[in-house]
Amino acid sequence: MNTLSAVKSGEKQITGSSKTNFGYLESTNGEIDFSIVKNIICNGHHNGKVLYIIRNYADKNVCHAVADKFNHMVAENGGNRPNDGYVLTYQVGATQFSRNGEQYIREVNRVNQDVIGLMTVTDEQGIESLFLHSTLETGFLAQNVHFGPARFKNGYACFATFRRWLDNGAMSLMPHEDIAQVYFAREDDFEIACTQTVTAYNVCLEAAKEGGQLQIWNMIPDNESRERLGVSRTGYPYPPDLLGNIESLSVQLNVGDIYFMNACHLHGVSSISDGSRLTAGRFIGKLNDRKVVYWT
């Protein structure tokens, strides 16, 4: 609270970098343009576009089945992410947020059976329609680039994490960026600390009837902004009232939509006034010209 007050009375802007020709692209014919995917993952944008949506790609029957299974699991045990003082969410799967490599892999091992349990409602083809694992593996391999889970010692990243953000009174998910949190990986040389980009990949399993739009701002905050706001190692949260003069876009996602987004840009989810929103996803990062990895 004191940090926000200091920012409002003194530092009234967030500084950093932005994109020329900022915006997003979408495909409505069920086809994926791998060149767009690769450019967002490896370069952070495709001709200035930082978000690529493929509408109606995931099998909607699979989406509904996974959402039903998720609801059943959460009703039984509340999910496996306790209130950490940052975000309110029902979650199945691991998160690297505020964790180094050892802590993250320990969390992955703790919750992996729940992730596997969610996937029992479908087959390999259904899983591929949700996460494009083989599509990405094959696309990158054709360009002599390895694609696979991030590794720490003998442990590997969680396959995917499933989340329903819960409204905190201002937004369902406050403005944030996801590059800052990888700094925790430097504590024990977890390989994602070397990532040159952070791309968020998500599939919409359940869409809100009203609200719950994905919002992205044309701003990648610099280290000075992170320090002023006290988010140097988390990237969360940025005060919404500081973003009013920054170019932005807002997109409604529907069941079956998948998307790739440059998660170094500030982004969040607006409040939901009717229904609920459930997504599943992972982060993807380029470590070097020969290796791209994912984690959650």
Domain boundaries, the chain: 2-295
What is the pTM for the complete model shown?
A: 0.93
Place domain 2-295 in its CATH homologous superfamily: q2cbj1_9rhob like domain (2.60.120.620)
Taking only the tens place, the pLDDT of each residue in 172-205 is 899 999 999 999 999 999 999 999 999 999 999 9
Q: How confident is the model at residue 150 (pLDDT cuts 50, 70, 90)?
A: very high
Average pLDDT of the residues in 49-65:
98
Residue 239: DSSP 8-state: P
Per-residue pLDDT for 25 more than 80? yes
Q: How confident is the model at residue 83 (pLDDT cuts 50, 70, 90)?
A: low
Rounded alpha-carbon distances, angstroms, from residue 245 to 13, 38, 240, 270, 275? 9, 30, 11, 17, 30
Residue 271: DSSP 8-state: P
What is the b/e burial string over 5-38, where b = at least 16 CB atoms within 10 angstroms of the residue's CB? Answer: eebeeeeeebebeebeebebbebeeeebeeebbb
For residue 155, the one-letter residue type is G
- Burial of 191 (C-beta count, 10 Å sphere; 0-12/13-18/19+): middle
Mean residue pLDDT of the chain comes to 92
Taking only the tens place, the pLDDT of each residue in 94-130 is 999 999 999 999 999 999 999 999 999 999 999 999 9
Reading the block at residue 38, the tokens are 């690769």
Taking only the tens place, the pLDDT of each residue in 259-291 is 999 999 999 999 988 888 999 999 999 999 999
